[in-house]
Amino acid sequence: MLKRDKFAQNSETWCGLNRPDITEKEADVVLFGIPFDKGVSYRGGAGQGPSILRENTLCSTPYTERFECMDSLKVHDSGDFVGETRDALFKEIREYTGRLVRNGIFFTMVGGDHSVTIPVEAGISDGLKEQFGIVHIDAHFDLCDTLGGDRLSHGSTERRALELANVAGPENLYFVGIRSIEPDEYQFKKKNNIQVKSAWDCHHNGMEFVAADVVTAMSRFGKVYITLDIDCLDPAFAAGTGTPQFGGLYSRQVLTLLEILFEKLNIIGFDVVEVAPPLDPSLTSMFAARKIITECWGFHAKKLGKLEP
């Protein structure tokens, strides 16, 4: 079920943009958290991501890094999904996301480990009557059929997406920032045409080039979802995450990529996952996630005509 803590109910949360007094249909952005980290294969802690993020948006302001004002953007924090069992939790998340998508409501999900994207993408598929694209920004493919015997692990996110009715195949997916591969994924990649730009590609070819290729591939879809694992960033920029990988993306590269995607594609929602505050006392991953979320809202506000110079 959805539970709203004191921060989700506070109008000062999310840079003062939170509107607990309005309905989801009245909002420009609906946000919800999934503080679940039982799908990890290594280190936990991502379950604390949503609450720590909320608490640390009280000191933020509703302006982009280009000094544009988005204080007319209406954000509705629906709270966190909590449940006794994973099956029940994922079922509720899937149904909720499906309702948002059917009603054309733009949303942001905060994880949790990357397994929580599985029911979100399933809900998107349920809510649409057309194929959709997924841009997966991560250090890892998350294409394992199972990881540690678990089909719903954080390493199986996009393998499960490939089973959805409105995901025809690997052509619906585009991976950016990858720099790690599991044996299962290696074999899968050899047999399938996977659209990917590795971290190496991003550094050596430039993010503008990479973003242009993503846009070309994803433009075939009228609706695109972005899922971003904070470990897409190099550990120097986001140390607090369960499975960091050396040689990752720079902060500026990620913001450049997101800006181009929002400008060129119809983004219907996005998530930021794997922020694990207990693994980093300085909270670098949390601050990175906060910046990513608020800048993406700025990109969305611009499309809505709600960004003031």
Which amino acid would we find at residue 153? S
> So where are the chain's domains?
2-304
CB 80 within 8 A of CB 34: yes
Span of 1-15, 39-53, 229-243 with lowest mean pLDDT? 39-53
Which amino acid would we find at residue 122? A
For the question of whether the overall pTM of this predicted structure is more than 0.75, the answer is: yes
Q: What is the pLDDT of residues 276-289, one digit of tens each?
A: 999 999 999 999 99
Q: Is the dihedral of CA 135, 137, 141, 146 positive or negative?
A: negative
Q: For the sheet with 75-81, list strands across it.
A: 2-3, 75-81, 29-34, 107-111, 267-273, 224-229, 133-137, 173-178, 196-198
- Indicate the class that CATH gives domain 2-304: alpha beta
Q: What is the pLDDT of residues 153-200, one digit of tens each?
A: 999 999 999 999 999 999 999 999 999 999 999 999 999 999 999 999
